[in-house]
Amino acid sequence: MNPFLTIRQASATYPVFVGRELLDRVGALVRTRGRVFVITSEQLRVRFGERVAKSFAAADIITIAEGEAHKSLSTANDVVTALLERGAKRDSLAVVVGGGMIGDTAGFAASIFLRGIDLVHVPTTLLAQVDSSIGGKLAVNHEKGKNLIGSFYPPRAVISDTSVLSTLPRREFLSGIFEALKGGVIGDVALFELLEHGGEIDVDDVVRRAIRVKAEIVSADEKESDVRRLLNYGHTIAHGIEAALHYEGLTHGEAVAWGMIGANAIAVRRGILAPSISARINDAIRAWQPSPLPPLDAREILAATEHDKKNTGTQRVMVLPREIGVCDVVSDVAEDEIAFGIAAALADGRPAA
Ligand SMILES: NC(=O)c1ccc[n+]([C@@H]2O[C@H](COP(=O)([O-])OP(=O)(O)OC[C@H]3O[C@@H](n4cnc5c(N)ncnc54)[C@H](O)[C@@H]3O)[C@@H](O)[C@H]2O)c1
C-alpha cells in the first residue's frame, strides 16, 4: 500500500497512511527487527489495541489510564517502567493506539525512553487523525498548565484507519470536525465547503484534506514559529475559554469553534475580513452545533489569553482570516481587540433562551 502522503520535516521524513480497516495491516506497513510494544488504554485495548498487536508476529500490550488528568509525567513514567520491566531495548518499536491523549502521553514516553525509540502513531479519534498525530509535537500536562512538558519527536509512520471513527461518541467526533473546519479556513476552500452545511459528510475525504493542510504547514515549518502558527487560528480565545472553564464542560474542538468566531469578529473590526465571509464561516461552525458556552467572566478569559504560549513578550499574536483558505499571523493585536473578540464569542455562544 502506498502512503497517502509523506511528511518532510527538517528532522525526519515519514509516511501517513489513510484508509479503511488498516488496524490489521499495521505490522505489514511498518517493518521492524526489534520487539514491538503496543501502547493503548484499557477502553481501547480489545477493540483496537489487540487487532494492532496481532498484525505483528509478536507484540506486547501496555495500557495506560484515559483522561486529561492522566496526561502527565507520572503516566509517561509508568510507560517507561513498563517498557523496562518487559525488556524493551533501543531497537524496540512503540505503536501508540488511541486519541490525542494516549498519542501525546505514550508518544512522549517513547521519545524519552533510552533517549528515544521508534514511534508509530495509530490515531483513533478524528481529532488525533487530522491534528495531533501529524507534525511530531508531543506533550504532557504540568500542574501549572496544559502541554507544558514535551518534545518535538517525529514518528516513523502515522497509520489512520478511518473505519474506527464510527464508534466515536458524537461530541468527540465534533471536536475533530471543528479542527478540520479550522484547517479549511486556514488553507483549503474545498475542505471548508465539504463541512460548510453540517449533516452527512464523506469522512475519508475530510480526513485526507485536513491531514494535507496540516502536513503542508508542518513541512514548511517544523517548530512553533511563523507558518506553524497558522494552526492556532481560533486557539487564542479557545485557550482562554478552556482555562477559565478549568478544562471542563467543553471539548477542545468546541472551544476552538467559539474561538474562531471571536477571531473573525476581530478580523472584521480590523477591516481585513469581509462581514459576509465572517458570517459564512460562523454559519458553518453553527451548522455543527457546538455546545453553548457556560456562563463565563470575560475578564477571566482575557487574563488567561495572556499566558498563551504564542505571545512573545508583551505582543499579542493572533491568527486572523482574510478569506476562506487564507489566514494571516498578526503580531500587534491589542488587548482591547482581544476583549472585543471574547465578547463576540460569548454573545454568540450564549445558550438559546
Ligand atoms: N500533539 C499535538 O500536536 C496535539 C494537537 C491537538 C491536540 N492534542 C492533544 O490531544 C488531546 C485530545 O485528544 P482527543 O480529542 O483525541 O481526545 P482523547 O484522546 O482524550 O479521546 C477522547 C475519548 O475518545 C475515546 N476514543 C478514542 N478513540 C475512540 C474510538 N475510535 N471509538 C470510541 N471511543 C474512542 C477515548 O477512549 C477517550 O475516552 C488533548 O490532550 C490535546 O492536548 C495534541
Q: Express each pLDDT in 91-109 by its tens digit.
A: 999 999 999 999 999 999 9
Q: Hey, whose CA ends up nearest to atom 7 of ligand 1? A: 132
Dist CA 107 CA 160 (whole Å): 16
Measure the CA dihedral 73/77/79/85, to 10°.
Answer: 180
User: Please, are residues 218 and 290 in contact by the beta-carbon 8 Å criterion?
Assistant: no
Q: Which residue's entry shows cell 503580531? A: 331
Is 182 catalytic? The answer is no
The secondary structure element, H or E, covering residue 90 is none
pLDDT digits (tens, 9 = 90+) for 301-350: 999 887 655 555 566 899 999 999 999 999 999 999 999 999 999 999 88
Residue 165 has what pLDDT?
98
Q: Which residues contact 160 (CB under 8 A, 6 or more apart)?
A: 16, 17, 18, 19, 22, 122, 123, 129, 133, 207, 211
- Indicate whether 280 pLDDT > 70: yes
pLDDT digits (tens, 9 = 90+) for 195-244: 999 999 999 999 999 999 999 999 887 665 678 899 999 999 999 999 99
Measure the CA dihedral 319/324/325/330, to 10°.
Answer: -20
Measure the CA dihedral 186/188/193/197, to 10°.
Answer: -30
Measure the CA dihedral 97/74/242/351, to 10°.
Answer: 70
Maximum CA pair distance of the chain?
61
Residue 145 has what pLDDT?
86
To test the pocket of ligand 1, the residue of 147, 168, 172, 251 to mutate (highest count of ligand atoms within 8 Å of its CB) is: 172
| Mean pLDDT for the chain overall | 94
CATH number given to 5-167:
3.40.50.1970
Residue 211 has what pLDDT?
98
Mean pLDDT of 51-67: 97
Count of positions (residues) in the chain: 353
Instruction: Say if ligand 1 is within 6 A of residue 164 CB.
Output: yes
Q: Which residues contact 22 (CB under 8 A, 6 or more apart)?
A: 29, 159, 160, 161, 163
Identify the CATH assignment for 170-349 out of 1.20.1090.10, 3.40.50.720, 1.10.10.10, 3.40.630.30. Answer: 1.20.1090.10
Residue 298 has what pLDDT?
95
To test the pocket of ligand 1, the residue of 71, 101, 165, 178 to mutate (highest count of ligand atoms within 8 Å of its CB) is: 101
- The domain locations on the chain are 5-167, 170-349
Dist CA 100 CA 118 (whole Å): 18
